[in-house]
Homo-oligomer: A and B are copies of this chain.
Amino acid sequence: MKIDTLTIVGVGLIGGSIGLAAKQRGLARRVLGVGRQQASLDRALACGAVDEVFLNHLEAVPKAEVAVFCTPVDLIAEQVLSAVPACKSDILVTDAGSTKAEIVKSLQGRLPPHVHFVGSHPLAGSEKRGPEHADGNLFEGKTAVVTKTNETNDLALNRTVEFWRSLGSEVMVMDPETHDRALALTSHLPHLVASALVSILTPRCSGLTASGFRDTTRIAAGDPSMWTGILVQNRESLLAGLDRLDASLAQFRHALETSDRPTLNHLLAQAKRIRDALDRPSQGAHDALGN
A183 CA / B210 CA spacing, docked (Å)? 10
- List residues of A (70-123) whose CB comes within 8 Å of B's CBs: 123
**Which residue, A252, A253, A285, A287, has most C-beta atoms of chain B within 10 A?**
A252
- Find out whether the CB atom of A268 lies under 8 angstroms from the CB atom of B235: no
Q: Which residue of B lies closest to A289 (CB)?
A: B207
- Find out whether the CB atom of B275 lies under 8 angstroms from the CB atom of A198: yes
A152 CA / B274 CA spacing, docked (Å)? 43
Q: Report A162 CB to chain B, min CB distance, Å.
A: 21
Give the A interface residue count (CB, 8 A): 95
Which residue of B193, B205, B223, B244 contacts A186 across the interface (Cβ within 8 Å)? B205
A221 CA / B278 CA spacing, docked (Å)? 10
A270 CA / B224 CA spacing, docked (Å)? 9
A126 CA / B215 CA spacing, docked (Å)? 11
- Find out whether the CB atom of A198 lies under 8 angstroms from the CB atom of B274: yes
A179 CA / B205 CA spacing, docked (Å)? 9
Q: Which residue of B lies closest to A190 (CB)?
A: B216
Instruction: Say yes or no: is A46 at the interface (Cβ < 8 Å to chain B).
Output: no
Which residue of B126, B210, B249, B257 contacts A124 across the interface (Cβ within 8 Å)? B210
Instruction: Say yes or no: is A40 at the interface (Cβ < 8 Å to chain B).
Output: no
- Find out whether the CB atom of B214 lies under 8 angstroms from the CB atom of A216: no
Q: Which residue of B lies closest to A248 (CB)?
A: B196
Q: Report A199 CB to chain B, min CB distance, Å.
A: 5
- Find out whether the CB atom of A288 lies under 8 angstroms from the CB atom of B207: yes
Q: Which residue of B lies closest to A284 (CB)?
A: B207
Instruction: Say yes or no: is A264 at the interface (Cβ < 8 Å to chain B).
Output: yes
| Given known contacts A200-B245, A215-B219, A172 and B271 CB-to-CB distance under 8 angstroms | no
A–B complex contacts, Cβ < 8 Å, 10 sampled: A123-B208, A172-B207, A186-B206, A190-B216, A200-B248, A207-B284, A212-B218, A215-B219, A220-B268, A231-B264
Q: List the 9 closest pairs (A to B, CB-CB), nearest first.
A: A207-B285, A182-B205, A195-B271, A207-B288, A224-B268, A123-B210, A196-B248, A224-B269, A206-B288
- Supply 4 further A-B pairs (C-beta < 8 A) apart from A225-B265, A228-B261, A242-B253: A196-B271, A201-B274, A231-B256, A232-B261
